[in-house]
Structure 1
Amino acid sequence: MRTQTEKAKAFRALHERPGAFIIPNPWDAGTARLLAAMGFEALATTSLGVANSLGSATVSLAAILDNCRAIAEATDLPVNADLENCGAHEPKAASHAIRLAAEAGCVGGSIEDATGDLSNPIYDFDLAVERVQAAVEVARSLPFPFTLTARAENFLYGRTDLDNTIRRLQAFEAAGADVLYAPGLYDLATIKTVTSALKKPFNHVMGFADPTLTVPLLSAAGVKRISVGGAMARVALAAFLKCAHEMKDHGAFTHVREMAPMKEVREAFAKGAVA
């Protein structure tokens, strides 16, 4: 089993090698092990996936961290934590989530500028930068190279001011963030505009983007890391609802033809588990 430092160094190396890599988003230990068995090199948690599994529209930092721990312990892969706004508005209070994510076994994590308040969804520029600075300070104090991702959430909240988004990302970069992230960018031209304005690695999430984009296209556009956010969890939920509707509305069960073969699943669980 790799140590946390070894995982952290392996995660950093993925961001330094040529081309883009995919970091999929499991939502529990089982899905983490399936992805590990398939040969993915790192995993990222999804707060949306956690919320869905709990039957809630929102999720607490404590629940996020419990999920981080379960996924980090499930495989030998590096895990990046989706920490939303880190559970607090004040910079130092928010930065504490970085240490908690590390204690849960993660080797990377994100802080975003979304407030969680739909009436005022994005932190003011100066406060957003201060929050990233505080998170960087905690990340640098850890005994291994924690990879900090700073997220500019404008596009998810209808604020399609690209210049403002780039300004925020550049400020987060200057504050010391290791990876930059702006969810909600849809087309390749916009993605290229953002990546060309940055020097640090950029994470692009496919859950909100043109689904015809591919790894080679995104890599050529300057993307380093490709995640899917809650997309896989939502696809699984769509399949669940399809089964439920067939039973409730038609009294039928044809969905059983599409069940995953349990022998294959259990073999993958065993393969993807921590050695």
Structure 2
Amino acid sequence: MEKDLVDSLFANFSFVIDELEIDQQRVRDYWATPQSNVFLSLAVFFIMTGIMAIPASTMPVPSGIFIPMFKMGAAFGRLVGEAMAVWFPRGVRYGGFLSMIQPGGYAVVGAAAFSGAVTHTISTSVIVFEMTGQITHILPVMIAVLIANAIAQLLQPSIYDSMIQIKKLPYLPDILSSKSGSFSAFNFDGLRITGEEKKMQLSFDYTVAESSELKERNTREETTAYNICVEDFMVRNIKYIWHKMTYRELREVLRDSKKLRSLPIVDSK
């Protein structure tokens, strides 16, 4: 069903043309009814897919987010392509040649760009080429994916990173380049032992401040991410056993670390 839906959006003919073959009319009838036209159906499909993708991707057992975003991009691209077919029914003249409008090409570009922007990936262009089986639209697809990724990365983390942050799962944010104009400051609370030394957990607060504020702060103290050493958050008081320790020392170590299941063995102190 999903494949047939995407194939209909990638169809290489316009839904607004009256003279269609029987197979093409069947595809067109899927998106146009006596009560609505193609544009209304595509717009409603785009909106409803986005709304229904929210609970589908955030439920305890998520149903996926890539395919809904892919379909939304294809629907939006098809909507633009059909509008272009109405505005330029005879095609667009460029360089002495008349190029016909192909709404399916707009759907391909829209699907790759939209899903690539949401996931912050470039590989969506390869997925589109494998689905369509040809690379005639490789140039507009690559340009659209690169532009969409550049804009999306400036505005918001990827959908997967956003879901991790919303669910408060363990997450290590990206460290910005030391040559970039923006700076990131890390606050390490250090290693803490939870559950009576049952589990060691590294916790830290990642704080992103305005670059101007951090520049002023860095002039007062060197606290950027690139000046943090391992000794700032390493565990120092580690329980261990070495081969020359006395019986009394071994008994004290075992008594103080009853909750630990294993102890490291070293050659010397």
Same fold per superposition (TM over 0.5): no
TM-score, length-scaled by structure 2: 0.22
Which structure would you say has the larger RCO, counting Cα contacts within 8 Å and 6 or more residues apart? 1
Larger Rg: 2
